[in-house]
């Protein structure tokens, strides 16, 4: 089974628009067709960003969405800090991917990761990940 970590922008896009690639990728994780991993720091970021007023998301809908993700995904506790990404918060995703040894880190902000792969994890856009899954 393909393993992945989803960057927050993938989760937010899925929450905002039921159609589109990010929503389909989240659906694949919820149906256990992709094994999704997260860490406490990632869940904290998902929660904080989804509750931002600018997104106008219903707090109860966000809670249900996050509970569904938690139920489907696997929690890991990274043991090593990484400082490879340009944005410090993005290092949490690399730490999670490294700890879980995931195949992919899926992000809508590839420019934040100045490398195509990190310790065996390919860094891909949602569209690239969707194409890979269809192969």
Residue-wise pLDDT for 60-119, tens only, equals 999 999 999 999 999 999 999 999 998 899 999 999 999 999 999 999 998 889 899 999
Specify the pLDDT at position 38.
Answer: 98
How many domains is the chain partitioned into structurally? Answer: 1
Specify the pLDDT at position 46.
Answer: 98
Residue-wise pLDDT for 22-46, tens only, equals 999 999 999 999 999 999 999 999 9
The SS3 assignment for 34 reads coil
pLDDT band per the 50, 70, 90 thresholds, residue 5: very high
Domain containing 128 equals 3-134
Range 17-25 contact pairs with CB under 8 angstroms and sequence separation of 24 or more: 21/126, 21/127, 21/130, 22/108, 22/126, 24/130, 25/106, 25/126, 25/129, 25/130
Mean pLDDT, residues 56-62: 97
Specify the pLDDT at position 111.
Answer: 87
- The CATH number of the domain holding residue 20 is 3.40.50.1010
pLDDT over threshold 90, residue 135: no
The SS3 assignment for 131 reads helix
Residues 6+ apart with CB under 8 A from 21: 126, 127, 130
Residues 6+ apart with CB under 8 A from 119: 97, 98
Specify the pLDDT at position 114.
Answer: 83
Cβ-contact 66, 43 below 8 angstroms = yes
Q: Tell me which residue of 124, 62, 74 sits closest to 99, measured CA to CA.
A: 74
């Amino acid at each position: 089974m393909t393993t992945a970590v989803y960057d927050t922008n993938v989760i937010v896009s899925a929450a905002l628009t039921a159609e589109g690639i990010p929503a389909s990728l989240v659906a694949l994780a919820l149906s256990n067709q992709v094994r999704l991993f997260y860490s406490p720091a990632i869940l904290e970021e998902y929660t904080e960003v989804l509750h931002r007023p600018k997104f106008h998301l219903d707090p109860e809908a966000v809670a249900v969405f996050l509970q569904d993700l938690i139920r489907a995904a696997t929690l890991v506790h990274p043991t090593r800090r990484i400082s490879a990404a340009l944005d410090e918060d993005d290092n949490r995703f690399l730490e999670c991917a490294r700890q879980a040894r995931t195949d992919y880190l899926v992000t809508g902000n590839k420019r934040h990761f100045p490398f195509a792969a990190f310790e065996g994890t390919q860094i891909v856009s949602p569209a690239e990940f969707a194409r890979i899954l269809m192969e």
